[in-house]
Structure 1
């Protein structure tokens, strides 16, 4: 059977090679997908010139189309974002806005182009907001066609107004590690089911 393909979009505000807690949790989840036989790739979106807009290609050096091709080739999207003032990063919001173009894209059978793909979310931050971010992001991803498995999100919240980031911890908290594993296991299970039994086309 063909291996599942998982694409992680790291929506940190920090360009490479800066250390990123968001990248750390994303890579931890990707390692779990890999242990299950999946092929994975991580893109740090801020390293690319993703133009503002709601079209698949905004022209003039826009680098979103190349990322979009990776997304279309993947079975699973892991959407990873930090928390800033209780909200996803501006990079995360830009990705969601660019994904809005997919609402009108369909396959040969008339299904949304992203139907059959599975989405999961990872959030980090030393302030509240993770639950609201997961809700907002997953709603947007479902709107454009993604499916979501049971327990398809993981997060870590540090002490409010604290200075300790996820990457500063001496180890991964057991509760986060357990949740990461559920995200990978459940998302891979759903992706395999949808690959074998696609959604029916519109009536």
Structure 2
């Protein structure tokens, strides 16, 4: 089984990402279950705006798309900015829009029989709103979202320290990340045994 963690941090490598640091807990829990985990940081790639899979020369999205369709598990990692998902997360979802009309050889929509989860960090509240926006979009595309398929961390109201510079709330966020990994793996395993059949 494969999992792809897509980071929508605004930071380019090698700058440390708070959201990726929390996401690593879920990734580790999946690795312990024998899942082959890969990571992509979209800020390091050239992903222009659009709603098709391939925009031609210079577009790095097609190789991300290839990893998406090879993975049974998708985890989207996004910081919270102005109470919303990052602009890169929105860009990712817009590019994934093309998957709504893509099908496997048997006619099954390409995102079916795959599960997805969300990891969010931020200094202020808004995590549940961000989780809802990203989860709703992934569900529209055809992904299955198990119960408790998310984790988040925030410092609280107003500006403050970020995830990597404080231990505040880490125990809850990390325990929730491990539960998310458990639920993603369990439902992905169930779908592997009894997949959603092609429509009709």
Match among 51, 55, 63 for residue 54 of structure 1: 51
2:73 matched to 1:73? Answer: no
Q: Secondary structure at the match of 1:164?
A: coil
Equivalences for 1:164-183 in 2 at 5 Å?
164-170=161-167, 173-183=170-180
Tell me what 2:114 maps to: 117
Q: In structure 2, which of residues 13, 30, 35 is the aligned counterpart of residue 38 of structure 1?
A: 35
The question of whether the paired residues in 1 share the 8 Å contact of 2:22 and 2:174 is answered with no
State the alpha-carbon separation in 2 of the partners of residues 42 and 97 from structure 1. 20
**Correspondence for 1:153:** 150
State TM-score, norm by structure 1: 0.95
What CA distance in whole angstroms lies between the structure 2 residues aligned with 1:159 and 1:176?
14
Give the structure-2-normalised TM-score: 0.97
In 1, distance between residues paired with 2:154 and 2:97? 28
Give 1:135's aligned residue.
Answer: 132
Q: 8 Å contact 2:4–2:39 — kept in the other structure?
A: yes
Rounded to whole Å, the distance in 1 between the matches of 2:194 and 2:86 is 35
Corresponding residue SS for 1:83: strand
Q: Deviations over 1:92-135 (max 9, x none)?
A: 00000000000001112221111001000000000111001111
Q: CA separation in 2, counterparts of 1:176 and 1:61?
A: 38
SS at match of 1:190: helix
Equivalent residue for 2:197?
200
RMSD: 1.1
Count residues in correspondence. Answer: 200
* In 2: Cα distance, 1:79 partner to 1:98 partner: 14
User: 1:36 Cα shift?
Assistant: 1.2
Offset at 1:166? 0.6
Give how far 1:162 is off.
2.1
Q: Is the 8 A contact 2:51 2:98 kept in 1?
A: yes
Distance 2:45 2:199 in 1: 36
Separation (CA, whole Å) in 1 of partners of 2:152 and 2:2: 22
